[in-house]
Amino acid sequence: MEYTQLGRTGLRVSRLCLGTMNFGPHTTEPDSFAIMDKALELDINFFDTANVYGWKRGEGVTEQIIGRWFAQGSGRREKTVIATKVYGTMGDWANESRLSALHIKRACEASLKRMQTDYIDLYQMHHVDRNTPWEEIWQAMEQLVREGKVLYVGSSNFAGWHIAKANEIAKQRHFMGLVSEQSLYNLNARMIELEVLPACADYGLGMIPWSPLASGLLGGILQKIESGRRASDGVKEALEKNRGKIEAYEAFCQELGEQPADVALAWLLHNPIVTAPIIGPRTLEQLTGSLRALEIKLDEVAMKKLDEIFPGPGGAAPEAYAW
């Protein structure tokens, strides 16, 4: 396994991040345990979750599964860099969502209890809260860091200017601020190259791409449909919109002699700003299959071809659209 530092921190994490969103709704608890055990065996030490995963309001189903896995001992918690999130609605009361100081405090304590741990390695804001001032957010996060309940703070689904504003205010408070950003990023969704990636590079944030396979669109969808496997309505709709690109992409992957999913992950790993794409396996086979991406080295010719198939926005703003 390859490791890298998370943004400008000294924290070393695996180049693949185990996403746990399927644990509970789609993957049984015993199978989830087996996947997490296998991940550690493969030296994947970076796990991502969120308090809303499990999709039963207020229950934190996925965090509870992780907590029961940690409780088995044998160094499971010590070997894992666990990242979770705050923002989503966890109840019907007025202050059980978003990023007020009150909700951050209570959500953190609830996540700690569910995961049966006394600290969170990376506590991520699941979305920007435009109604809460940064002074309030940072005061709450600083308190959690002082108490040892949180080690690092990250963001998710932030715009470039949100990252800049957040970290400039953190700097004024002599606080480390954001160290990572988790964004939608894949070959077919490259909008963040305009301003989010440049902001991450300038402020020293590690990029953690979610949906690196575009919900399966980049995972060999044509091959799977031809073999009789089903695709969700959303993936079918996306395929019809992008059929020409996907046909060209899968043909190119065949030329390379590689699986489409592995090429999609390898393309992300080629970017020095990317810390670790989030892989969300439902099975052990999907987990172990992802490791091939670490071995693929795309040359300039291959990168150029992928740019031709999936044109990005043209680079960073403003040069992407102006002189």
DSSP class of residue 191 equals G
Q: Which candidate, 83, 144, 157, 145, places its Cα nearest to that of 115?
A: 83
pLDDT classification of 150: cutoffs 50, 70, 90: very high
Q: CB of 215 within 8 A of CB of 239?
A: no
Q: What pLDDT was estimated at residue 165?
A: 98
Helices (H), 71-100: 76-79
Q: Where are the alpha helices (DSSP H) in the chain?
A: 29-41, 61-70, 76-79, 101-114, 134-146, 160-172, 196-203, 221-226, 233-241, 243-256, 260-269, 284-289, 300-309
Task: State the pLDDT at residue 232.
Answer: 81
Catalytic residues: 53
Amino acid at 84: T
DSSP string, 107-162: HHHHHHHHTT-S-EEEEEESS--TTS-HHHHHHHHHHHHHTTSEEEEEEES--HHH
Please provide residue 84's backbone torsions phi and psi, each rounded to the nearest 5 degrees: -130, -175
Confidence grade of residue 74 (pLDDT, cut at 50, 70, 90): very high
Distances, alpha carbon 128 to alpha carbons 88, 131, 197, 265, in Å = 11, 9, 17, 27
Looking at residue 233, its pLDDT comes to 83
Percent residues over pLDDT 90 in the chain: 96
Is 42:17 a contact under the CB 8 Å cutoff?
no
Both structure tokens of 99: 């990023």
pLDDT computed for residue 226 by the predictor: 85
- pTM value is 0.96
Domains and CATH numbers, the chain: 3-309 (3.20.20.100)
Q: Which two tokens stand for residue 40?
A: 């550690």
pLDDT of residue 230: 79
Residues 139, 168: contact at Cβ < 8 Å? Answer: no
Residues 6+ apart with CB under 8 A from 72: 33
294's CB contacts (< 8 A; 6+ apart) are 1, 2, 15, 16, 266, 269
Report d(CA 98, CA 39) in Å as an integer: 31
- Bridge partners, residue 19, by sequence: 48
CB 126 within 8 A of CB 85: yes
Give pLDDT tens digits for 193-247.
999 999 999 999 999 999 999 999 999 999 888 888 877 888 889 999 999 999 9
Instruction: Answer whether 253's CB lies under 8 Å from 247's CB.
Output: no
Least confident of 60-64, 225-229, 307-311: 225-229
Query: Which H/E stretch holds residue 210?
Result: strand 206-210
Res. 41: pLDDT tops 90: yes
Q: pLDDT by residue (tens digit) across 121-145?
A: 999 999 999 999 999 999 999 999 9
